[in-house]
Chain A
Amino acid sequence: MFFLTFYRALRFAFQGFWRNIWLSVVTIIILVLTLFSVSVVAGINVVGREMVKSIENKVDVSVYFFPTVSDSDVESVQYRLESLGSVASVTRVSKEEALAQFKERHKNDPTITESLNELTDNPLGTTLIIKAKKIEDYPLILQVLDDPDYQKLVQNRNFEDNQKIVARLSDISGRIQRGAIALSAMFIIISILIIFNTIRITIYTHREEIGIMKLVGASNWFVRFPFIIESLLYGLIAVAITLILVFPLVQLVSPQLQSFFQGYSFDLAAYFTGHFLMFALMQVALATFLSMASSAVAVGKYLRV
């Protein structure tokens, strides 16, 4: 009895699908549009997040010590900075390395090379290069250096120049995130409108059928089951189509992004392939939820005959 009912529900679902092929096509198109827009927003979010990360990665702050400051004093500052939770790394560049780097950078400038050669002592001090975990943390980290004990040691720091850049970048990253949120909200609203409409179409087409089925003595489950399977079918087909659409798009966009990110390795195609299963499962969940919820609402409304 159960298998017979199940088999019949399955048969009715496929019949309903083929014999109402236009409604099936329209429903699937709507689902594909919804899934596609949600995928695009998700993609923008991923890219935006990576972009902010890549920019943050490029920002650091250099602290230049007086040449006279001893290594142990520098070490204690370094130690202090490293103990801060918001600091990602502190790299020390010794006087010698600093000089070598300076010479390297200015090897084509004879005046600087000459004047350097006249000096017997190394005019440069040790440098600490600080990287914060988050771009907003720099001002707080650098407050540590305002400590009067440290002020005597520090000759200069490039944060004041960097500060403007950092402020700009924080601003841009905030804007990207707000933009992504606004875009997501927009797509979600559009999706809800579309889904609402799908429900209305479903109600309209099934209204009469459900009434008839009930009148000839069908139980609620006998009516509901084929519709559920039919909507499951819509969902699965919509996901398949969306994945087929998204895949070449990712392949197309990925190289462009890579050249844009310059030096920061981010491969959208690889990211997509890596997260493919999760991506597909989420789509299946979303699509079946949407189509089943809408048909459940539609069918439920007319079951009380």
Chain B
Amino acid sequence: MIRFRGVSKLYPPDVTALKDVTLSIMPGEFVSIVGQSGTGKTTLAKLIIAEQRPSKGRVIIGDWDITDIRSHEIPILRRQIGVVFQDFKLLPRKTLFENVAFALEVAGASRKKISSVIPQVLKIVGLENKMDRFPREVSGGEQQRAVIARALVHRPKILLADEPTGNLDAINAHDIIELLRKINEFGTTVVLVTHNREIVNMLHKRVITLDQGMVISDQKSGRYIL
């Protein structure tokens, strides 16, 4: 599903964010990527959605080698990967419903499809009663659930979550992780980037540990080891 082959990423002039990373994630897996801050976790996530290009090595999503992806193909890639980031990226001038709808509208979905899919995904994340509010009118946890709902509208094969609980308290964080687990049970590959020890230890899923841009451990049912 996701394959990195000898991937390095340099940020000029002299930051090496990733060093010779090779890993592969199978369809339907739930993988946590852990490590201290500044070890290249976000860089790894950005390589998956082609927000950054590798300096060396290849990145392959499904059958698609996106190492040298053309810029007009990037929207197509991104509609297949649901993305959830730490700083809840919702459009501030749109309601929750409109934010979720936007992801479908960019792909040219019909109004009929939009009006049938969105209530469904908002129900999955438990926001069916708040869909006409603006982001500033709901809590952080609810914003993050809206982001997840938006990530789900394309029925993506991959859900990529970079520190989705970073700005949330323990209870909200727990809810979000449960939501991700539920989505994974529907068959979506979930890649969770985090440095939250309790969450990782509670999940009992595969854990890939990064340190200074290198993979230092990859365990089937792992724990947070740093």
Contacts and interface: CB of A to CB of B under 8 A. Distances in A.
A277 interface: no
A213 B106 contact: yes
Given A304-B71, A305-B51, A215 B93 contact: no
Nearest to B83: A215
Contacts of A217: 75-79, 103, 106-107, 154
B106 A222 contact: yes
A20 interface: yes
Contacts of B94: 15
Contacts, number: 58
Q: Which interface residue of A19, A214, A216, A305 has the most chain B CB atoms within 10 A?
A: A216
Contacts of B105: 8, 222
Interface in A184-223: 208-209, 211-219, 222
B193 interface: no
Contact of A213 (B71, B77, B91): B91
Interface in B76-114: 76-79, 83, 85, 89-94, 98, 102-103, 105-108, 110
A4 interface: yes
B106 A209 contact: no
A217 B82 CA distance: 10
A209 B83 contact: no
Nearest to A5: B108
Nearest to A212: B89
Contacts of A20: 93
Given A5-B108, A215-B78, A222-B106, A209 B92 contact: yes
A16 interface: yes
B154 to A, nearest CB: 8
Q: Which interface residue of A1, A211, A213 has the most chain B CB atoms within 10 A?
A: A213
B49 A215 contact: yes
B72 interface: yes
Given A216-B150, A217-B78, A219-B72, A211 B89 contact: yes
Nearest to B51: A305
Q: Which interface residue of B85, B106, B110, B150 has the most chain A CB atoms within 10 A?
A: B106
A49 to B, nearest CB: 48
Q: Which interface residue of A1, A16, A20, A212 has the most chain B CB atoms within 10 A?
A: A212
A205 to B, nearest CB: 9
Given A15-B93, A209-B91, A215 B51 contact: yes
Interface residues of B, number: 28
A6 to B, nearest CB: 11
Contacts of B108: 1, 4-5
B9 to A, nearest CB: 16
Nearest to A216: B103
Contacts of B90: 212
A5 B93 CA distance: 19
A219 B78 CA distance: 10
A8 B89 CA distance: 21
A218 B106 contact: yes
Contacts of B79: 216-217
A304 B71 CA distance: 8
B105 to A, nearest CB: 5
Interface in A1-42: 1, 4-5, 8, 15-16, 19-20
B158 to A, nearest CB: 13
A216 B78 contact: yes
Contacts of B75: 214, 217-219
A89 to B, nearest CB: 67
A215 B89 contact: yes
Nearest to B107: A217
Contacts of B71: 304
B70 to A, nearest CB: 12
A19 B92 CA distance: 10
Interface in B143-159: 150, 154
A270 to B, nearest CB: 46
A123 B71 CA distance: 94
8 contacts: A4-B108, A15-B93, A15-B94, A208-B89, A213-B106, A217-B79, A217-B107, A222-B106
Interface of B: 49, 51, 71-72, 74-79, 83, 85, 89-94, 98, 102-103, 105-108, 110, 150, 154
Closest 6 CB pairs of A and B: A217-B78, A218-B106, A217-B79, A216-B103, A19-B93, A212-B89
